[in-house]
Structure 1
């Protein structure tokens, strides 16, 4: 019987999953998802290959588990950062900053883009996890519209447009250029949802 890590079987399973997620994240950043094998992930995680199958039936399932975990952690952190802010405009500023600074390992990994190597079912499941964060943005915009901070608008259009802008936005790693890029992105989004008057031409 394999040695139990932690004080219980539940802790052991959770710690093994965390090791697998960390290994997948590191290997994806180095090689890309398509090039990584389950055997390499197991070796990097320091677990037996058969142990991987006790948690995930295949590599795509492992990726989904990783994305689910990362999304839940991020959404909880994001929500905590918004809890003490009452002004919808300031909430939106915070949301933009958090989203711009988020490291999307599964988008930035080398190799083919994930959409081109995942099955249709897995692509849909990945999309569902993006929706977890979209709910937070939708709540901010709804509160802003109700308070009059933002004009009436179709959130079915606005929410994906804002998130597409933020998820595709690369910012410099450091220095004044980074802060300037984040500030300009913030201003762009605020103008786009009608929180700020357009800059005169």
Structure 2
């Protein structure tokens, strides 16, 4: 019988899931999801191969749980960052910065796009989780339009354009170069959605 880690079975289960998530993230960043097996993940996590099946029936189920965990945490952090920000321009700047700082498997996994190497049902579930983030951006844009700070526009068409811009660029790790790149990206996004020029002073 495997050793129980933690004072309860629930704590043990959470600990094992955390180990598996860490191993999945690490292996995907090195080789890509399609190149990693469930046995590889179990070995990297230090979890018995048969024990993995007590938590996840297959690799895609593990991926979905990992994405759900990461997305929920990110959305909660983003909502907290936006909680006391009322100005649409500053809300957009917060969103841009959070997306730039985001280091998820969507951005760093080598190999084919995740949604091209999983089943159709799993790809649909992945889109649902991404939708939690895009809904926040859509809400910011609609709020800006309602407040008269942004021109009326097709929000559903604009949101993926902004996210493609943010996820498709590599930023310096730190220093003045990163600060300049982030500021330039903020200003680009603000102009792209029609924020008037007089409102584009650096934050």
Counterpart check, 1:189 vs 2:189: yes
Q: How far, CA to CA, are the matches of 1:113 and 1:92 in structure 2? A: 27
Partner of 2:46: 46
What is the alpha-carbon distance in structure 2 between the residues aligned to residue 147 and residue 197 of structure 1? Answer: 17
> RMSD in angstroms over aligned alpha carbons?
1.7
Map 1:19-34 → 2, pairs under 5 A: 19-34=19-34
How far 1:99 sits from its partner (Å)? 0.5
Q: CA deviation at 1:169?
A: 2.2
In structure 2, C-alpha distance between the alignment counterparts of 1:125 and 1:3, rounded to whole Å: 33
1:66 deviates by: 0.8
Runs of 4+ in 1 over 6 A off after TM superposition: none
- 2:145 and 2:152 in contact (8 A); partners too: yes
Aligned to 2:144: 144
Structure 2 residue ranges without an equivalent (≥5): none
The CA distance in 2 between the partners of 1:55 and 1:89, in whole Å, is 43
TM-score, normalised by the number of residues in structure 2: 0.91
TM-score (norm. length: structure 1)? 0.92
Q: May I ask how many residue pairs the two structures share in their alignment? A: 199
Q: Is the 8 A contact 1:28 1:106 kept in 2?
A: no
Q: Report 1:78-93 matches (<5 A).
A: 78-93=78-93
The separation in 1 between residues aligned to 2:11 and 2:68, in whole angstroms, is 18
Residue 180 (structure 1) aligned with residue 180 (structure 2) = yes
**Contact map agreement 1:107 1:114 (CA 8 A) in 2:** no
Could you tell me how far 1:195 is from its partner in structure 2?
1.2
1:69 Cα deviation after fit = 0.6
Contact 2:149 / 2:196 at 8 angstroms: preserved in 1?
A: no
Structure 1 residue 113: deviation in Å? Answer: 2.9
CA shift, 1:30, in A, is: 1.4
Other structure's SS at 1:112 match: coil
Would the aligned equivalents of 1:75 and 1:132 in 2 still touch at CA under 8 Å?
yes
Distance in 2 between residues matched to 1:132 and 1:181, nearest whole Å: 26
Distance 1:136 1:148 in 2: 19
**Residue 117 of structure 2 corresponds to which residue in structure 1?**
117
SS in 2 for 1:34: helix
Q: Which runs of 5+ in 1 are unaligned?
A: none
Segment drifting more, 74-83 vs 121-130: 121-130
